[in-house]
Amino acid sequence: MFKYCVWYTVKETHPVHKMMSKYSSLFKTPRFPPHITIQSKLSKSEAISTYNRYLSVDKPIFTSHGHPTITYERFPGPLYFYAIEQPLNTNGAYVEGIHLSLAYRINKNFTPMELAHTEFVPRIYNTDLSICIMNCESENPGEWERVK
């Protein structure tokens, strides 16, 4: 689906883990690690190159930008990938497309009432982040695997 991805993952002690666990139970959606995507849809070698490049860059600080939104992406065939995403500021500046994914669902949109259950995402400090490579080829986000 998303091939190989390079992510900033959020450490387990950050409150966003509890929030996303609650959303997974409430919305009946798969669990996945809280993350901010650096780049997706990469080959394995592209992912390794991107990962190595970002290891030498200072990690940013992320803050919420507005309210969470519902997004979707259409894939070949009858596959729609829906998400609830929290747009983020990066080091205080809004950069379009940078977000924290809060919930995923295949072929079933989220409702406005579900969106209304989302909460404010606390600041994510650079010390809360680590970089990883994920194999995100499965259609089920619960089956995505950390490669590095």
d(CA 51, CA 1): 20
Asked if pLDDT for residue 140 goes beyond 90, the answer is: no
- Per-residue pLDDT of 2-45, as tens digits, reads 999 999 999 999 999 999 999 999 999 999 999 999 999 999 99
**Top-confidence residue, 111 or 141:** 111
Question: What pTM was computed for the model?
Answer: 0.91
Pairing mode, if any, of strands 62-64 and 129-135?
Answer: unpaired
**Domain extents in the chain:** 4-146
Q: Residue 23's Cα: distance from chain center in Å? A: 14
Q: Average of pLDDT values for 93-120? A: 95
- The contacts of residue 59 (CB under 8 Å, 6+ apart) are 8, 126, 129, 131
**Any idea which fold 4-146 has?**
Cyclic Phosphodiesterase; Chain: A, (3.90.1140)
Pairing mode, if any, of strands 93-106 and 79-90?
Answer: antiparallel
> What size, in residues, is the chain?
148
